[in-house]
Structure 1
Amino acid sequence: MTDDKTAPLVSPNDLPVLQGSYRFDGRNYLQWSQLVRTTLKGRKKLNHLEGNPPTTTDPKYEAWDDEDALIMTWLWHSMTPKISHNYMFFPTAKEIWNNLSQAYSMKKDTTTCYEIENKIFNTKQESLSVTDYYGMLNRLWIELDQYQNLTMQRTPDSTTLT
C-alpha cells in the first residue's frame, strides 16, 4: 500500500480491460509495460510493481495482499493466454513484473537499436503528409530512446547543453 493512509483500495472496476493491440503478446513489451505502469501510477498503485510489500504482521498487509491479487489478475488478463499461463503461480504482482522485464525487455539491445536507426535513416516522406511523416519518425525516435535507456540529469545536462 502507499504511505498515504487515505489511498482507496483498488477494485476490479478501477483497472481497464486491455484488448487487441494493447494486450501483451510477446512482441509489444515496451508499449504494454508503459501502459501498465501509467495505469497503475494513475491509481497510486505503482508500488505493487516497484515497492516492497508490508510485512505479514503489519495491519495493512491483508488489504495490500487483496489489492495485489487484483493487480495480478489484471496483469494476467492484459496478456495473451499463451504468455499469462507462464505467470499464474508467481506470488506477487512485483515478481510477475520483474520476470516479464527480464524475459521480454530488450533495453540496450544493440541489434534492435541498429534496426530502428536503420528505419529512421531509410524513412522517406514519399506520399505521406508532413504530419504523418513526422509522427512516424517521432515514434521511431521515442522507441529508440526506450531501448537506449537515456535519462537526462536536469541540472548537469542542462548546464552542459547550454
Structure 2
Amino acid sequence: MTNPDNTIISTSTGTRIPTANAILESSEPLYLHPAESSHPIVVDTKLSGIDNYYEWKRQMEIEISIKRKLGMLTGVVKKPTNDPLREAAWTTCNSQLIAWMLHNMEPQIKRSVMYSNTAKEIWDYLQRQFSVSNGARKFRLNKKLYDLEQGDKSICEYFT
C-alpha cells in the first residue's frame, strides 16, 4: 500500500519502506510521476518501417524529452548499480519507455523488439534497422535534381 509520503507499508511487519520516488526530486530523469504510468505517449504516426522512421523518431524524441527521459535512450542516464532504490527507479523508467515505444509501433515491428531488455536496445536497433540510406537512389535523385531545367536554363541559373 503506497502512501502520499512515498513509502510502502509492509503488510507483514507494518513498517514503512521508502519507494524509489521517495529519494528522487521531480526534476531528476529517473523520477516517474504517478500519472505517467497510466497515460501512454501517443504520437501522430505509428512506426511502420523505413518510410516513416525519421518522422516517428523525431516525434518520440520530443515526447520523451518532455518527460525528461531522453537520456535513457541516448545512454547518458545509465542504470545505477550501487543504490537499490535508484536501480529500481531506473528499471521502472526503462519499462515505461519500452511501453511508450511499443504503443507507437505497428504490430509487426512491435513483435520484433518487445523482448529487448532495455529501451536503449530498442532505440539503437530501430536506428540500425531503419536509418539505412539507399546510396543508389540518393545518387539518382541528386542527378535528376541537377539535370532539372527551367526553360533553357538550369535550376541554378534560373534562381541566380
**Which TM-score band (shorter chain)?**
0.5 to 0.7
Work out whether 1:113 is the aligned partner of 2:151: no
Structure 2 residue corresponding to 1:57, chosen from 67, 82, 85? 82
Q: How many residues align?
A: 119
Corresponding position of 2:111: 85
- Of 92, 103, 106, which residue of structure 2 is paired with 1:66? 92
Residue number in structure 1 paired with 2:72: 48
Asked if 1:95 corresponds to 2:121, the answer is yes
Distance 1:24 1:57, change over 3 A: same
Gaps of 5+ in 1: 125-162
User: 1:1-162 to 2 correspondence within 5 Å?
Assistant: 5-7=25-27, 8-9=31-32, 11-13=36-38, 15-18=40-43, 22-26=45-49, 27-51=51-75, 52-58=77-83, 59-107=85-133, 109-114=134-139, 116-117=141-142
State TM-score, norm by structure 2. 0.62
Distance in 1 between the 2:68 and 2:141 partners? 33
- Structure 1 counterpart SS, 2:32: coil
Structure 1 or 2, whichever has the larger Rg, is: 2
- 8 Å CA contact 1:53, 1:61 repeated in 2: no
Secondary structure, in 3 states, of the residue corresponding to 1:60? helix
Which segments of 5 or more consecutive residues in structure 2 lack a partner in the other structure? 1-23, 150-160
Seq. identity, %: 25
Structure with larger RCO (C-alpha < 8 A, sep 6+): 1
Question: Counterparts of 1:15 and 1:115 in 2: how far apart (Å)?
Answer: 41
Amino acid at match of 1:44: R
Cα shift at 1:83: 0.7
* Cα pair distance change 1:40/1:120, threshold 3 Å: farther
Q: For 1:110 and 1:94, locate their aligned partners in 2 and report how far apart those are by CA, in whole Å.
A: 27
In structure 2, the CA distance between the partners of 1:82 and 1:123, relative to structure 1 (3 Å rule), is farther
Task: Decide which structure has greater helix share.
Answer: 1
